[in-house]
Amino acid sequence: MPQQFDMKYPGNGQVAGHFWVEDEKGKVIFDPAFGEHSYIKGVNNLSDQKCYKHASKDLARTEILGWVMKPMMELKKKFGGKVVLLARHNPPQFNRCNANVMLYKLAGGEGRVCYGSMGWKTKRGEDYYEWEVYE
């Protein structure tokens, strides 16, 4: 059985916003869905249509560096060539978007890591952000 990553890595802090991965055209290509999302949508009377809002470039750079890139480099240093195998055997977890994106990238996933607000459209078509960045 492969070693499991500590999905709380890199610390016990909380991220205010959300991390996901987009392709070169800006289409979201990695942002796992979880059962908890159904509950959030039901309680808040939301549609199934996700909505995203990018944070400012400076804030996104800081958050991606601190919550994704730096820990990813530390894991590469710690596990060396085994890091890809380890990343592929750690399924995404709810409320661990930074670790999910990091493991996706370590496993060879393509795309650009993004940071900002994420949620769903309301039934009236307005954006509702469950994970919101305040700038």
Three-state DSSP string of 63-75: HHHHHHHHHHHHH
Rounded to an integer, the average pLDDT of 10-34 is 87
User: 35 by DSSP, 3-state: which?
Assistant: helix
CA angle 4, 6, 9 (to 5 degrees): 145
Residue for token pair 């085994």: 82
pLDDT at 43: 96
Query: In this predicted model, what pLDDT tens digit does every residue of 43-81 receive, in sequence order?
Result: 999 999 999 999 999 999 999 999 999 999 999 999 998
**DSSP 8-state secondary structure symbol assigned to residue 33:** -
Q: Predicted confidence band at 34 (pLDDT cuts at 50, 70, 90)?
A: very high
pLDDT at 2: 42
Q: Which two tokens stand for residue 117?
A: 């607000």
Contact present, 94 and 36 (Cβ < 8 Å): yes
Query: In this predicted model, what pLDDT tens digit does every residue of 97-133 receive, in sequence order?
Result: 999 999 999 999 999 999 999 999 999 999 999 999 9
**12 CB-near residues (< 8 Å, 6+ apart):** none
pLDDT at 6: 47
**What Rg, from alpha-carbon coordinates, does the chain have?**
15
pLDDT at 13: 56
The model's pTM: 0.88
